[in-house]
Amino acid sequence: MGELILCQHPIAANPYYIDALSLNIYSLEELSYYIYHNVDLMEEEFFGEDLIHWIREEVGDISLADNLERLWKEGASLQLLTGKVLASNAYLTQVEIKETVAAVSEYAGLSKSARKKKRADALMQKGRLTDAIYAYEDLLLDDKTPRLLMGDIYHNIGSAYARLFFFREAAEYFESAYQKNNRTTSLMSMFYALWCDGNEEEFKEKVIEYHLPHGNAESVKKIYSAAVHSDEVRNFQESLLHLQQEGDKVEAFEKALNSIVSDWKRDYNRLCRV
């Protein structure tokens, strides 16, 4: 999980699999760690039969399992169930437990659509772009989602596609976003995506369709040009050229280039993870 967790309770021989993050946990301390760092992913269904069974059979905390089962069957609140789990071990301080339960309570008080969007936003922030796209698209199927919120959801899907370099798809979502939220940010994002996609003809057509001022259209091109000719990009190109020109260091060049490409692949696969 990225840090050492001291477990005072038994370590389960068989882990509990948390689908939301494709994560295996082996102790109540790790369960508390997950809840503490992922309040936005908590929902009533989390404390279901499977988790209770795991706590009873794998962790061996029969008292906690019985307590959770009784509360769950009585329809106890999400924050109450959360508090019981967090208090069952010493991973968090009392102050941290109170803060976490309060955050869960605040989250549980949101409307269903607001909660879903908050969860999708959290996936975006964690870099799980493909998961975020699925979560946002699920929101678009809800007829009760307000028009303005729906526009912002379209915008966020466009942002996710842009980060995955699918600029054509991004432009389409940004346009749909603008048609619903009427935000200048969404409109300009559409033009940036079109220009990044290299579709100059459609870019010109959209400039006319949306009556984009000439200065704004030129600004899109200048910002794009500044990005692709930034010091970071130029230094990277110069470094590769320098290695390539050193004939006696062909192997070093290939090794450096392969390392860079591998890093890109790893980052892209992480962003596309489902």
Q: Which residue has the tokens 């006696």?
A: 248
- Pick the range with the lowest mean pLDDT from 32-46, 47-61, 77-91: 32-46
- Contact indicator for 35, 87 with CB cutoff of 8 Å: no
The residue ranges of DSSP E strands in the chain, in sequence order, are 16-18, 23-25
Give the tens place of pLDDT for each residue, 231-240.
Answer: 665 666 666 6
Residue 8 in any domain: the answer is no
- Pick the range with the lowest mean pLDDT from 43-57, 83-97, 98-112: 98-112
Residue 22 in any domain: the answer is yes
What are the distances in angstroms from CA 262 to CA 63, 93, 142, 259?
49, 41, 40, 5
Q: How many CB atoms lie within 10 A of CB 252?
A: 11
Query: Sign (positive/negative) of CA torsion 209, 210, 216, 221?
Result: negative
263, two tokens? 């890093």
| Beta-carbon contacts of residue 74 (< 8 Å; ≥ 6 apart) | none
> Quick one: 165 and 212 in the same domain?
yes
Closest CA to 169 of 148, 141, 197, 203: 197
- pLDDT of residue 9 exceeding 90, the answer is no
What are the distances in angstroms from CA 211 to CA 154, 170, 206, 216?
22, 20, 8, 10
- Pick the range with the lowest mean pLDDT from 46-50, 68-72, 105-109, 230-234: 230-234
> Quick one: 138 and 174 in the same domain?
yes
> Quick one: 189 and 256 in the same domain?
no
Give percent of the chain with pLDDT exceeding 70: 80
> Quick one: 32 and 127 in the same domain?
no
What pLDDT is recorded for position 175?
97
Structural domains of the chain, count: 3
Give the tens place of pLDDT for each residue, 151-209.
Answer: 999 999 999 999 999 999 999 999 999 999 999 999 999 999 999 999 899 999 999 99
Looking at 108, 131, 148, the residue that finishes a domain is 108
Residue 181 in any domain: the answer is yes
pTM confidence score = 0.65
Domain with 212, as residue range(s), is 112-228
Question: What's 24's DSSP letter?
Answer: E
Burial of 242 per CB tally in 10 Å (0-12, 13-18, 19+): exposed
